[in-house]
Amino acid sequence: MADVASMTGFADAIQTTKFGSITVELKSVNGRFLEVSLRLPEELRFAEAQVRERIGAAVSRGKLDCRVSVTRDAAAAGTRVNATVLGQIAELAHQVQKALPQATPMGIGEILRWPGVIESESGEPDAWRESLLDALDRALQGLQQSRTREGASLATALRERCSGIETIVGRLRANMPRILSETERRMNERITQALGNSLGASVNPGGLTREEINERVRQEVTLQGSRSDVAEEMDRLSTHVTEVRRVLDKGGAVGRRLDFLMQELNRESNTIASKASVVETTGAAVELKLFIEQMREQVQNLE
């Protein structure tokens, strides 16, 4: 059984090399499809295709932000300061100081962290590739663990609300015979009174006999009873709840399937609300819609 994963998570990893260190930060939120925003330093642009490929293999849905930063070790063998970049920084600093005399000058640490100030041997980019991918793999593993932990919490919340829906349906199902009987009784009284008045009037436009009135009453009561009966809707609600549990138990990428089931659950609760003829049924429909809306919000975060 695969784990249910949320689309929300965060992880980072640092890989140290002889030239410095690489930091990979991953942050993901919910999204309809996989959307990757990748920020790489210029010296690692050559690995962009491989980074995207590994992210795509590990994550199927969500908006994912991947930020990679490089901290070079100025004391490492084979490293040196790029005089050209240093000169550009000095010129920029001079312009800023001229325009803003009160501005605080940059410190040595800030200058060394400036992109391109520290450079290494010409073959250095290839030497960083393996370290970058190692850091990315560990960050992806951490991200998946984070998303799985949250996914487990969301699955628990969904199961609890499934139980809540079953409780409401069970209560409504137990009371439905009484509700229908009460509805038919009130309808019978109103229709009998209305048709009886026409029978007792001096002029009877319809020419109805008492037997015909009684038959009309039975027809109207039967029709209203069928309109108020929500047995089929309750059966479908129970079926959908069972399917939600089955999908959660199966695990994996369940978000789209559960989103469809939320639509079906909402459809049945709307039908129950439209058929409600007593306050009890209306209240049950409102409770159902509340649980379903809570589930829908949770499902939006599942991968």
For 84-119, give the DSSP string.
HHHHHHHHHHHHHHHH-TTSPPPPHHHHHHSTTSEE
d(CA 140, CA 248): 23
Q: Which residues pair with 35 in a beta bridge?
A: 63
Q: Give per-residue pLDDT as tens, 42-84.
A: 778 889 999 999 999 999 889 999 999 988 765 555 567 777 8
> Is the separation of the CB atoms in 35 and 63 below 8 Å?
yes
Q: How is residue 3 written in tokens?
A: 């784990």
Answer whether 176's CB lies under 8 Å from 232's CB. Answer: no
DSSP-assigned beta bridge partners for residue 28: 9, 64
Ordered per-residue pLDDT tens for the chain, 303 residues: 678 999 999 999 999 877 778 999 999 999 888 999 999 987 788 899 999 999 999 998 899 999 999 887 655 555 677 778 778 888 888 788 888 888 788 777 777 777 677 665 544 566 678 889 999 999 999 999 999 999 999 999 999 999 999 999 998 888 877 776 676 666 666 666 665 555 555 445 455 565 665 666 566 555 555 555 678 888 999 999 999 999 999 998 899 999 999 999 999 999 888 877 777 888 889 999 999 999 999 999 998
Q: At a CB cut-off of 8 Å and minimum separation 6, what does 72 contact?
A: 19, 20, 79, 112, 118, 120
Return the pLDDT at 123. 47
CA neighbor of 17 nearest in space, from 114, 117, 121, 111: 121
The pLDDT score that the predictor gives to residue 85 is 79
The DSSP symbol for 21 reads E
Sheet of 9-17: strand order equals: 9-17, 20-29, 62-72, 34-39
CB 38, CB 52: distance < 8 Å: yes
Q: Looking at residue 101, what is its pLDDT? A: 81
CA distance 153 to 44: 37
pLDDT value, residue 187? 65
Residue 273: how many other CB atoms lie within 10 Å = 17
- Distance, in Å, from the CA atom of 179 to the CA atom of 166, rounded to the nearest integer, reads 19
φ/ψ of 269, rounded to 5, equals -65, -35
Q: How far is CA 185 from CA 88, 220, 224, 232, in A?
A: 91, 12, 11, 22
Measured over the CA atoms of residue 264, residue 266, residue 267 and residue 269, the dihedral's sign is positive
SS3 40: coil
Residue 202, pLDDT score: 45
Quote the strand ranges of the chain, DSSP E.
9-17, 20-29, 34-39, 62-72, 80-81, 118-119
Distance between start and end Cα atoms, the chain: 15
- For residue 62, list its beta bridge partners: 34
Q: Which residue has the tokens 């030239």?
A: 19
